[in-house]
Amino acid sequence: MVASETVQIAELGRELARAEKRASRRGRAEDWHRLRTTSRRLRGALLVHGEALGGELFARAARRAKRITKLPTEVRDLDVALENLAALVEASRGRERRAARKLLSALEHKRDRRAQNLARRLRRDRPARSLARKLRRGARRPAHPETPPALTLERCAQGVLAARAGVQGWRDEQALHALRVAVKKYRGALMAVGEGSEERLAALQTAQQLLGEHHDWSVLAGRLRKREQAARGRKARSAYRRLLARAEEEQRARFARYCAEVDDRLSSLIGARAPSRVRAAPLRRSPGRRFTASPPPGSSGSP
């Protein structure tokens, strides 16, 4: 391992600090997305090269980078939910549209409060800038790594295959989330090593994006279920039930696209033997016309 790899980590730390500064000042959806994606890139570099910093600093930096990724999770999820709800509003009519607008208004207020609180916290604690200083100091005195990058990549690849084998269908949200996290981890490590071709990285990005969109619609579906249960009156519950059917249709559609475009290619993309493929549930039409929302900012993002 050469010093240039610790310099790479230090530069990603500085980039993360700049992303934190923008997010704490402006708080736009793209700012929170950039903070998350930059922290994930740093985590990928640490996964492959972090031992060059020395064991203690490596462990602390990895934990802090993960916490930074998680910080804007709720704001990012609300941003995506608002994008998807806006699509539901456009595709709905009557009571269904009014129900979607009511939830949209409530989530807008919640998002603004959470974003303001998070921005204040970042300005006060400056976690990314603190981490960047530690990485800069650590890069000046690199140690020798214990794990070859090739072995790290192999472990990440096996993690993808293990997660893929556990998926039972479009409703298996926990297993699909685990698969998305494993794909992100492997793709981040691959980028840090610099071995992935553009085609390979693009295919992994597609898997990450489709699984991320499935997750986003599942989160919105959960909110709609709670609204349906809390609604007063048969007509109000029926409106939320129809919105829920639309959200679940979008979940199924994203899962079907993932199966059609990426699933069978995963083993070849990571150069490992394929386990049994995921079982795709048949798609069914939900009440109302079919629509497809445009991908919201950061729709594939997650710790």
More confident residue, 262 or 268: 262
pLDDT, residue 56, reads 84
The answer, yes or no, to whether residue 148 has pLDDT greater than 70, is yes
Confidence of residue 69 (pLDDT cuts 50, 70, 90): very high
User: pLDDT tens, 162-219?
Assistant: 999 999 999 999 999 999 999 999 999 998 888 767 888 999 999 999 999 999 999 9
For 193, the token pair is: 């090593």
User: pLDDT tens, 72-108?
Assistant: 999 999 999 999 999 999 999 999 999 999 999 999 9
Whether residue 259 contacts residue 278, with contact meaning beta carbons closer than 8 Å, is answered with: yes
% residues pLDDT > 90 (the chain): 68
The answer, yes or no, to whether residue 275 has pLDDT greater than 80, is no
More confident residue, 291 or 265: 265
The C-alpha atoms of residue 11 and residue 171 are separated, in whole angstroms, by 40
Whether residue 60 contacts residue 72, with contact meaning beta carbons closer than 8 Å, is answered with: no
Confidence of residue 282 (pLDDT cuts 50, 70, 90): very low
The C-alpha atoms of residue 62 and residue 46 are separated, in whole angstroms, by 7
**What average pLDDT does the segment 112-121 reach?**
95
More confident residue, 140 or 146: 140
pLDDT, residue 105, reads 95
pLDDT, residue 303, reads 61
Whether residue 175 contacts residue 167, with contact meaning beta carbons closer than 8 Å, is answered with: yes
| 236 φ, ψ (degrees, to nearest 5) | -65, -45
Sequence-distant (6+) residues with CB within 8 A of 172 are 166
81-120 b/e with 16+ CB inside 10 Å = b? bbbbbbbbbebbeeebbebbeebbeebeeebeebbeebbe
More confident residue, 139 or 35: 35
What does the H/E/C string look like for the chain? CCHHHHHHHHHHHHHHHHHHHHHHHCCCHHHHHHHHHHHHHHHHHHHHHHHHHCHHHHHHHHHHHHHHHHCCHHHHHHHHHHHHHHHHHHHCCHHHHHHHHHHHHHHHHHHHHHHHHHHHHHHHHCHHHHHHHHHHHHHCCCCCCCCCHHHHHHHHHHHHHHHHHCCCCCCCHHHHHHHHHHHHHHHHHHHHHCCCCHHHHHHHHHHHHHHHHHHHHHHHHHHHHHHHHHCCCHHHHHHHHHHHHHHHHHHHHHHHHHHHHCHHHHHHHHCCCCCCCCCCCCCCCCCCCCCCCCCCCCCCCCC
Domain boundaries, the chain: 1-144, 148-268
pLDDT, residue 288, reads 46
pLDDT, residue 272, reads 55
| 163 φ, ψ (degrees, to nearest 5) | -65, -40
The C-alpha atoms of residue 250 and residue 81 are separated, in whole angstroms, by 13
Q: Phi-psi bin for 282: left (phi > 0), alpha (psi -120 to 50), beta?
A: beta
The answer, yes or no, to whether residue 284 has pLDDT greater than 50, is no
pLDDT, residue 137, reads 86
Number of helical (H) and strand (E) elements in the chain, helices listed first: 11, 0
For 294, the token pair is: 């445009």
Single pTM value for the model: 0.82
pLDDT, residue 297, reads 45
